[in-house]
Amino acid sequence: MTAGPHPLRPPIAAPSILSADFARLPEEVAIADPARDWVHCDIMDHHFVPNLTFGPMIVGAVHRLTPAFLDVHLMVEHPERLVEEFRRAGADQMTVHLEACADPPAVLGRVRASGARVGLALKPGTPLAAAERFLGDLDLLLVMTVEPGFGGQRFMEDMLDKVRAARASRERLRADYLIEVDGGIAPDTARRSLEAGADVFVAGHSVFGEPHPAEALAALREAIGAAGARR
Ligand code: DX5
Ligand code: ZN
């Protein structure tokens, strides 16, 4: 099921501003090409994950800086309480963690009702089977390829099996959710994730941790063959 703002045609690179220099946010955000890339915003609440990042104010600022599709990853407890506020700030898609939802259908329904696209994220230890009954209602399934909470961690190779399984489930269910990988993504790990069936590639450190982020993003796009046409 798809609804809400139009995404791009996969494969899609999604630079994560978690690793950006927030003192230079306009220049950092400007490397994303709205015709080819999403901008990924990591919301961490110091409860669901140990780290604490930013909220709707910064998402609103990013929205004013770029027309790019805003992919908001909610690593928070009680995500349902924040849906409308992030939507008003400019979130085009909100991805909630299955592990943070007391009532997943209600939370996913609330995101849908806000007008945003609906994503569901799985921590590395959460099997795909736990999400099986929600897959038909999703626009995006996020397979975490590190333990959520911090940028710059090492890609977990064994998550490629979960990506393959997510791809197989999509075909079996005739669903059309995009499969996103997030954590330790660089050109080499992106390429292996692409081969396993991923569509969207979130990258923080490998883009903004480089001396020339625009070039690093270009290398990621090239590795995945991001074409950038509308879906
Ligand atoms: C981690 C976040 C990621 C993070 C990825 O919990 O969800 O989006 O920005 O960072 P890298 O690409 O540095 O692993
Ligand atoms: Zn993320």
pLDDT tens sequence across 76-110: 999 999 999 999 999 999 999 999 999 999 999 99
DSSP secondary structure letter of residue 161: H
The confidence score (pLDDT) of residue 229 equals: 56
Render each residue's pLDDT in the chain as its tens digit; 231 residues.
Answer: 555 788 899 999 999 999 999 999 999 999 999 999 999 999 999 999 999 999 999 999 999 999 999 999 999 999 999 999 999 999 999 999 999 999 999 999 999 999 999 999 999 999 999 999 999 999 999 999 999 999 999 999 999 999 999 999 999 999 999 999 999 999 999 999 999 999 999 999 999 999 999 999 999 999 999 977 554
Q: With 0-12 CB in 10 A as exposed, 13-18 as middle and 19+ as buried, what is 105?
A: exposed
pTM of the entire structure?
A: 0.97
DSSP secondary structure string, 31-75?
TS-TTTBEEEEEEEBSSSSS-B---HHHHHHHHHH--SEEEEEEE
Q: With 0-12 CB in 10 A as exposed, 13-18 as middle and 19+ as buried, what is 24?
A: exposed
Atom of ligand 1 nearest to the CA of 184: 14
Which domains are seen in the chain, by residue range? Answer: 12-224 (3.20.20.70)
Pairwise CA distance, residues 227 & 171, whole Å: 23
> Which chain residues have CB less than 5 Å from ligand 2, an ion?
42, 73, 182
Q: Give catalytic residues, as residue numbers.
A: 42, 182
Pairwise CA distance, residues 177 & 183, whole Å: 19
The confidence score (pLDDT) of residue 5 equals: 87
pLDDT tens sequence across 141-174: 999 999 999 999 999 999 999 999 999 999 999 9
- Is omega for the bond preceding 11 within 30 degrees of 0, making it cis? yes
Q: Which ligand is in closest contact with the Cα of 18?
A: 1
Coil, strand, or helix at residue 153?
coil
> Cα–Cα–Cα angle for 168, 231, 202, nearest 5°?
65
* Closest C-alpha residue for ligand 1 atom 10: 151
Nearest to 171 by CA among 135, 195, 225, 207: 135
Q: Which ligand is in closest contact with the Cα of 71?
A: 2
CB–CB of 86/115 below 8 Å? no
Give the mutation target among 59, 143, 202 for probing the ligand 1 site: most ligand atoms within 8 A of CB.
Answer: 202
Q: How far is the CA of 153 from the centre of ligand 1 (A)?
A: 8
Q: How far is the CA of 151 from the centre of ligand 2 (A)?
A: 9
Specify the residue for token string 């990853």: 73
Q: How far is the CA of 149 from the centre of ligand 1 (A)?
A: 8
The confidence score (pLDDT) of residue 227 equals: 77
The confidence score (pLDDT) of residue 2 equals: 52
The confidence score (pLDDT) of residue 173 equals: 98
Residue 177 φ then ψ, to 5°: -65, 145
Specify the residue for token string 């992106």: 190
